[in-house]
Structure 1
Amino acid sequence: MKYKKPMNLEASLDGRIDHCLWCSKKVETRTSWQSFISNASHQYLCFSCKSLLQPLPKNCCVRCSRPLSIGGEHVECLDCRRWREKDNMGDTLEHNLSLYVYNESAKELISRWKYRGDAILALIFRTELRRLYLQKYWDHLPIPIPISDKRMLERGFNQSELLLSFLLEPLSLVEKLSMILTRMKGKKREEIPPAASSMLLRLMDEKKQSKKTRYERMMATENPFRVNTKCSSTIKAKNIVLLDDIYTTGSTLRRAATELKSHGARSVRAITLFRGS
């Protein structure tokens, strides 16, 4: 099956973004000088709904962003230690950065977004996702985690491809200025090819991750992902950042990372919207 080009979510609203995408209440827009030079001039959530998105605490696992109950620097969670022990060659996924805690509000949002087809909710994450990518991973090639043909037919879209579409948007003036400063520090920006969404394929349809136990996720051995042979040369020697909605055990991301590294990727990291416990 050929995947469709990610939809333009904002265009589907005909420019009338004056209400909260979660509760539908009118959102008071505040015009500032940044509104005229930034891509992120719209407010997609009202103040009350925005407060339901819980940012990750400072005390997190240094490798996977899992919130921890113990303090100290360079603390690694038990799952990450187990992953390293499980893989004799070392962990294939260098790092994961998440934006928010996967709390009850997040679960309801994900359910409405992914399983009830409310694709427009992806816009909620646009600004923070772009900011994190441009600050931390602008020299990485972003690749979305693919879904199977069956899931694509069920949902009508791949939530990770929607996240990629935000990174494909032209840079605003503010972002360009930031990039100039970053370039002065010696980094080279990675140009995102249009085919980024098809570099990694999912050939197997598995039981939904949400239906698996923690043990089943971590013990899965068969890899459902394959690198698109037409893109092998693009992946070789590249730093890659995977895009996905939720990190729970990291099994999905690590299997994708394993496949990418087997085709010559230099390193694989990940950005996820939510970090489960």
Structure 2
Amino acid sequence: MSYCLYCHESYSEAWSWEALIGLEASPLLCQDCEGRLVWIKGEICRICGRDFCVFPEQYRQGDCCFDCIRWEENESWTGILQQNRSLYVYNDYMKEIIAKLKYRGDAEVVKAFYPVLSTEFKKISRDAILVPIPLSEERHYERGFNQAKLLAVGLKKHTEIVLKRKTHEKKQSKKTREERLSQKENPFEVIDSLKVKGQKVILVDDVYTTGSTLRYAAKVLIEAGARKVSSITLAR
């Protein structure tokens, strides 16, 4: 008998030879909770990884969504973020999971996604350094942990703490899309450029929304000498 990391109800695992001999990880969510997650699969935006199935055809051009085209058409942002890959659609259920993790302090729930995070990471790059998106000191103290760093643990690779968030600001989840995109000052700075210079970097965060957070982080890393910056997030 196992206990679901989200609803905390007990459930019986589906039996298989793979699980018995250790080739398959035991499920950490019950079937009901697992079934409410929506995987991103099929056709996706080449850059941000957005699922083309969940928005109208007129919002894409070729293999890119219009959001990414707008970023790439701006000379200041062309090629800054090579690609983002996300595991799940940010639906109402995923919003609840993220809220439980970030705002209700249930850090254990993140472990439910370690097996799939590890698998997805191997598809992106094995020879990159792993950099979680940092919180401000105030936010970290308030929350007690950095959810991006917890997610990075699931990738089974040493993380490098090379970024610092300069200021304590309004929560990203409370900002409008316009506020996120109109931000002028880069909120991040590189604190150890020697670890960045000439490296491929993969940023880790919980949610890709407008892409501004990841691009601002990628920009300072590129300016510090990083060769290429991509990202992986739990949801898009």
**TM-score where L is the length of structure 2:** 0.90
Cα shift readout 1:170-225 (whole Å, capped 9, x = no counterpart) = xxxxxxxxxxxxxxxxxxxxxx55xx342111121111111111111112121111
1:26 counterpart (1, 7, 10): 10
**Separation of aligned partners in 1, 2:153 and 2:28:** 17
Alignment of 1:136-215 (within 5 A): 136-168=124-156, 192-193=157-158, 196-215=159-178
Cα shift readout 1:16-73 (whole Å, capped 9, x = no counterpart) = x8111122221213353455445x6322111111011101142321111123332999
Which residue is 2:179 aligned to? 216
Alpha-carbon distance change, 35 to 201 in structure 1, aligned in 2, over 3 angstroms: farther
**Separation of aligned partners in 2, 1:259 and 1:210:** 22
Asked if the contact 1:142–1:240 (Cα under 8 Å) also holds between the matched residues in 2, the reply is: yes
**Separation of aligned partners in 2, 1:140 and 1:28:** 38
1:99 counterpart (75, 82, 87): 87
Letter in 1 for 2:209: T
Which residue is 1:60 aligned to? 44
Which residue is 2:206 aligned to? 245
Asked if the contact 2:113–2:154 (Cα under 8 Å) also holds between the matched residues in 1, the reply is: no
**Separation of aligned partners in 2, 1:22 and 1:153:** 24
Name the SS for the 1:264 alignment partner: coil
Name the SS for the 1:53 alignment partner: coil
Cα shift readout 1:111-155 (whole Å, capped 9, x = no counterpart) = 111100000010111011000112222122111000011111111
**Separation of aligned partners in 1, 2:110 and 2:41:** 23
Asked if the contact 1:59–1:70 (Cα under 8 Å) also holds between the matched residues in 2, the reply is: no
Asked if the contact 1:141–1:240 (Cα under 8 Å) also holds between the matched residues in 2, the reply is: yes
**Separation of aligned partners in 2, 1:134 and 1:219:** 34
Q: Percent identity?
A: 40
**TM-score where L is the length of structure 1:** 0.78
**Separation of aligned partners in 2, 1:224 and 1:202:** 6
Letter in 1 for 2:32: S
Name the SS for the 2:154 alignment partner: helix
Name the SS for the 2:3 alignment partner: coil
**Separation of aligned partners in 2, 1:63 and 1:109:** 25
**Separation of aligned partners in 1, 2:115 and 2:90:** 19
Segments of 4+ moved more than 6 angstroms: none
**Separation of aligned partners in 2, 1:94 and 1:260:** 13
2:57 counterpart (59, 70, 78): 70
1:46 counterpart (21, 30, 40): 30
Name the SS for the 1:90 alignment partner: coil
Alpha-carbon distance change, 77 to 33 in structure 1, aligned in 2, over 3 angstroms: closer
Structure 2, unaligned runs of 5 or more: none
Alpha-carbon distance change, 94 to 23 in structure 1, aligned in 2, over 3 angstroms: same
Moved more, 41-50 or 247-256: 41-50
How many residues are aligned here?
Answer: 231
Asked if the contact 2:206–2:235 (Cα under 8 Å) also holds between the matched residues in 1, the reply is: yes
Asked if the contact 1:64–1:97 (Cα under 8 Å) also holds between the matched residues in 2, the reply is: yes
Alpha-carbon distance change, 166 to 88 in structure 1, aligned in 2, over 3 angstroms: closer
